[in-house]
Chain A
Amino acid sequence: MALFAVLQTTFLLALLPLRTYQSEVLSEPLPLTPESLNVSINSTKQCMHLQWTVHNPDYHQEFKMVFQIQISRFKASNVIWLENYSTTVKRNQVLHWSWESELPLECAIHFVRMRTMVDDARIPAPRLWSNWSSWEKADAQNSLGDHPLYVFPKDKLVEEGSNVTVCYISMNHQDNISCYLEDVLIYGRQLDQNVWAFEFKNVSFIRKTGTNFYCKGQGDPEGVVLLVSKVLEEPKNFSCETQDLKTLTCTWDPGNDTGLIQLPSYTLFESFSGKKTLCKHRNRCDWQVTQDSQEMYNFTLVAENYFRKRSVSILFNLIHGVHPMAPYSLFPKSVSATNATVTWKVYSIGSKYMARVRCAYADHFWKWSELISQNFTTAEAAPSEAPDVWRDVTFVSGHPTVTLFWKPLSKVHANGKILFYNVVVENLDEPSSLKVLSVPAPANSTKVTLNQSSYQICVTAHNSVGPSPASTVAISGHPGNENVEEGRMNGTEDGFPMSWKPQSRNATGYVVEWCDSPQHLPCVLRWKNLGPTNTDTVISSGAFRPGVRYNFRIYEISTKRMAHLLEKKAGYLKELAPSYNPKVNMSNLTSHSFTLSWKDYPTESQTGFIQGYYVYLKSKTGEKCHRGFEKTFLTDNSVCCKYTIDNPDQKTFVVKDLQPESAYEFLVTPYTSAGEGPLDDFRKVTTPDEYSHILIHIILPMVFFVFVIMIICYLKSQWLKDKCYPDIPDPYKSSVLSLIKFKENPHITIMNVNDCVPDAIEVVNKPEGSKMQFVGTRKSPTETKGTKPAYLDLLPTEKNYSGPGPCICFENFTYNQAASDLGYCGHFPVTPQAPHCQLGPLTSPENLLKTLEQSYMNSLGEIPAGEANLNYVSQLASPMSGDRESPPTNPPEPALCSEYKMQMAIPLGLASPARSENSSLSSTALLDPREHCH
């Protein structure tokens, strides 16, 4: 763990400079000089048009700039105009600016120059103007010919009351030039050596063909015509009426003529239907009443000319604006002395009339009498036209459910009050089956459930006299071909223009159906009947709204009145920017990436055709945008990186190359042709530490693994102990054997364990309590509790031994391999907390001694003795009591460990004598490792 921590810290320190490098912020911009400044002149509009570019390699998105533009006349130093033009500039965008001159541009040479300054809050101050561009000359006189005299502007169109400046240019510097405005000699002011200007204020209308201004020198006169227009007046007395309920006639008083040959245009617009018509007359317009029984009309009359647009509106009820046609066939009948019956005919059937009668003497007419009036209603007649019927078929469990819709008959065709509608359903497969429904007026729909047969449905409208002609639709018992690919279209001001390809030559007509308010359920079904020769139409409705997706279905009607789906089309009257953003799910968050997905975002209910998505990413550090992203500025002037997904079907995105432990904000918004969705719902995310997941991936398994090992160890502790460190190690596996074998001492003697009877054991306590060793004897816990180490001395001891002498060092390679590696042998302290080992089968000291003796003797048999003055003593650390007087047969106490020490005696200067001396007695020696073990 510690190692991991160290590595992590090191690595993070190494990454620190790299992160610092990536956290670059917007640097201070250099002033940008406009490039490719181009000046052109529009003589008709007296406009000077400037066009230029700004090349900015540092920014990819829009930023605000100010362009200071200077215009001089005749010479560069004569500045006549200074303007600051502020706009938002994109990289390499071509910019435009126009300036309208009071003086005709042909009258003088103009010079233009500009300089720029970045004026964006996101760009740090200071803000400096760039250098001025070089002067660009606009010289319209270059295009003049070789005439001696020119007058400008040509054919100027002005409104009455405005000001006009006219000039003349004398190319050969004539002095005797006289100028006239409508035969009146006038004087101007000299602008230049050969240029004179005349300013006319508050010009008035003189004649339709314009006001003449001309100058005359030595040659032919030159002049201009000022076309002065009177102010366009608002139409007055705007009203509409109808005589036959088929055609509306709207009239108005246009007011005074503007006086120009170009007459103002008059357009009649009706807001409920969304239709409009360009009027052929300046005081009257005809409007065709539609067949869909529209009674209310909201007309707006718009008068427009070059200068102005005027409009008036009225709300008109068709029924309230009837101007009846004059009665005809007026005949006196049954005239008696005091009674006269007069008959006449009227045009409208089933209508209420009011007759008024007044009299006068015909021979000597003087005055009319007072009027008397009487109301009456003409008799009804059967409706003259079949209702316009359409159907909507849905299949429920395989059975068609037909909803029939019909439009109410217009007053012209109803010929009275419609009382009910008859719906006759005929099963074509079973001619005897006939079903008749009577639907009372004013209902305009009914629902019929059918079975899987073919049906013919006839609908008639009835008034008190009789039925109308029948309108017939045929229904197939099976769903038609609905797998028609949906096309897209764009709406216009007039509605949705659409066209289709006929499938059959025998089509009797076409029907286009749609819902007026598709966003609201239930659908208000609309349809339009078209003749067999129509293959295109324009669907217009006052209910159409921008930002709503309308779905149109075009049917072809067969000779059997069966409708077959031809095409599907979807479109928007006008696309809008999306109103809301998809709900984005973030997943797979790592220190360098995360995944965004918005799978449930419905594109059909949007305010425009979704063309793709923008993924916005904001970072606190303002680091550079990653590959694929482009830098952009939001409305709050914050810097942001934007990625464009141009596939509307792609609804997942992986944000990569992020910095660990960094805070980001992201937003996914769709875009249509009208723009993108709202940018106000950024979500925050912080990337995790780069190594945390590594640690999680490594440390957790390790902890788990260790834990498992610990459990296994716990469960198999006895087995492990037996395998790894049994209570009594196998001497034949001791490394001392290899050492002995290496020495090959021929004089080596093997100490017989039986002969090696310890005769003395002395326990020496050393100050270091922590270094305590039990050798050859067993100490009781009370004895080992002290801090003095205990040593087992097996050699004859001399008190206060100081000189060189035999030193026996005990070493057990089995137990203390590390100690031997340190280069010295000595008494390795055994702490009182030495592991308590369970006694094995060799717990009996005698058996143990025997076994060990035999094994050891066998292993040492080949060691040559005498090469080193060594005595090898095999000593058994018996699990007996530390008291040598204690009987060896005492059973071991399980709480303490039996230890066997394989020891090597190293006689310093002495060899075999120890054998003789030690044969009878054993002595203990104090061995200080600091003094003797080197």
Chain B
Amino acid sequence: MRAQRMQRTLLSLVLRLLLLCTVATGKCSGKYHELLLQLQRQADLMQDPSTLLDPYIHLQGLHSPVLQEHCRERPGDFPSEDALWRLSRQDFLQTLNTTLGLILRMLSALQQDLPEAAHQQAEMNVRGFGNNIHCMAQLLRGSSDPKAAEPTQPGPGPTPLPPTPPSSTFQRKLRNCGFLRGYHRFMRTAGQVLRGWGERQGRSRRHSPCRALKRGARRTRPFPEIRRLAPRGQPPR
């Protein structure tokens, strides 16, 4: 038992040191697919309500059906799914980065209202996801294609601000509940978009043919050629 625990601890320590080393040195993986896969997995992990929303609902006593019904995402808290699909890769990453900053601020404000473990885990996830987005953006910026950074559609609007806390504790509970629900929805959408990047590999420069058909009329510019975007890494083919 002790040996196993020791091994586990050592492994965890090594992984953390590696992560810290990566962050500290600023080195990013140059492997596009590996980075994309990591982003997809992280998004899948963060979209799971059991990581944040459920602990919050349990701690705040919001599990009644009546209240669950009104624990809804407010429009404007996060970019909509449509808006995310319309963004260029660079803009998408930029939007993700901005939204993660907002989430971090909200998590900081919710520190007292969340179970400590859930809060810490959620914060680490957001920071790790942000690091990988940073690396992906760096990878894309390293391509010679200047179009990679150009937006294909107007952005999702101004940088979202943390929702204004209501004066009533009860309303604040519902508001935070809706925000966390929106957070999970946003991460779920982000994962879908990221998966779309992988699905289009070798077929189309667009994220998804189906979605492209739906929104193609409004799109003026395709995603840039990934091969041309990542000269140092493994460009998608």
Contact = CB atoms under 8 A, between A and B. Distances in A.
A694 B4 CA distance: 119
B222 to A, nearest CB: 43
B50 interface: no
Interface residues of B, number: 18
Interface string B80-120: 00000000000000000000000000000000110000000
A221 B169 contact: no
Contact of A154 (B62, B113, B168): B168
Contact of B61 (A154, A212, A261): A212
Given A210-B61, A225-B168, 7 more contacts: A180-B66, A212-B61, A212-B67, A216-B66, A220-B70, A221-B66, A224-B169
Contacts of B66: 180, 183, 214, 216, 221
A225 B70 contact: no
Contacts of B70: 220-221
Contact of B64 (A180, A206, A207): A180
Contacts of B168: 154-155, 223-225
Given A180-B66, A221-B67, A214 B170 contact: yes
Given A212-B62, A221-B66, A261 B112 contact: yes
A209 B170 contact: no
Contacts of A155: 168-169
B93 to A, nearest CB: 35
30 contacts: A151-B170, A154-B167, A154-B170, A180-B64, A180-B66, A182-B61, A183-B66, A209-B59, A209-B61, A209-B113, A209-B173, A210-B169, A212-B60, A212-B61, A212-B62, A212-B67, A212-B170, A212-B173, A214-B66, A214-B67, A214-B170, A220-B174, A221-B67, A221-B174, A222-B170, A223-B170, A224-B168, A224-B170, A225-B168, A261-B112
A183 B64 contact: yes
A216 B170 CA distance: 13
Interface in A204-238: 206-212, 214, 216, 220-225, 227
Interface of A: 151, 154-155, 180, 182-183, 206-212, 214, 216, 220-225, 227, 261
B169 A225 contact: yes
Interface string B51-89: 000000001111110110010000000000000000000
A866 B113 CA distance: 151
The listed residue with most A CB atoms (<10 A of its CB), out of B59, B61, B70, B167, is B61
A285 B112 CA distance: 24
Given A209-B60, A211-B61, A154 B169 contact: yes
Contacts of A180: 64, 66
A765 B113 CA distance: 142
B174 to A, nearest CB: 8
Interface in B138-186: 167-171, 173-174
Contacts of B63: 183
Contacts of B167: 154
Nearest to B113: A209
Nearest to A216: B66
B35 to A, nearest CB: 39
A220 B112 CA distance: 25
B147 to A, nearest CB: 45
B146 to A, nearest CB: 48
Contacts of B67: 212, 214, 221
A259 to B, nearest CB: 13
A210 B169 CA distance: 9
B117 to A, nearest CB: 15
Contacts of A224: 168-170
B59 A207 contact: yes
B52 to A, nearest CB: 15
A222 to B, nearest CB: 7
Nearest to A152: B168
Nearest to A182: B61
Contacts of B112: 261
B169 A207 contact: no
B165 to A, nearest CB: 12
Nearest to B58: A207
A206 B61 CA distance: 9
Nearest to B59: A209
A149 to B, nearest CB: 12
B66 to A, nearest CB: 6
A210 B168 CA distance: 12
Contacts of A221: 66-67, 70, 174
Contact of B170 (A182, A207, A208, A225): A225
A225 B59 contact: no
Top-4 shortest CB links A-B: A183-B64, A223-B170, A225-B169, A155-B169
Contacts of A208: 59
Contacts of B64: 180, 183
Contacts of A151: 170
A220 B74 CA distance: 13
A667 B73 CA distance: 78
A183 B65 CA distance: 8
A206 B167 CA distance: 22
Contacts of A211: 61
Contacts of B169: 154-155, 210, 224-225, 227
Contacts of B171: 222-223
A146 to B, nearest CB: 15
Nearest to A154: B168
A220 B69 CA distance: 9
A183 B70 CA distance: 14
Counting chain B CB atoms within 10 Å of each CB, the highest count among A151, A183, A208 belongs to A183
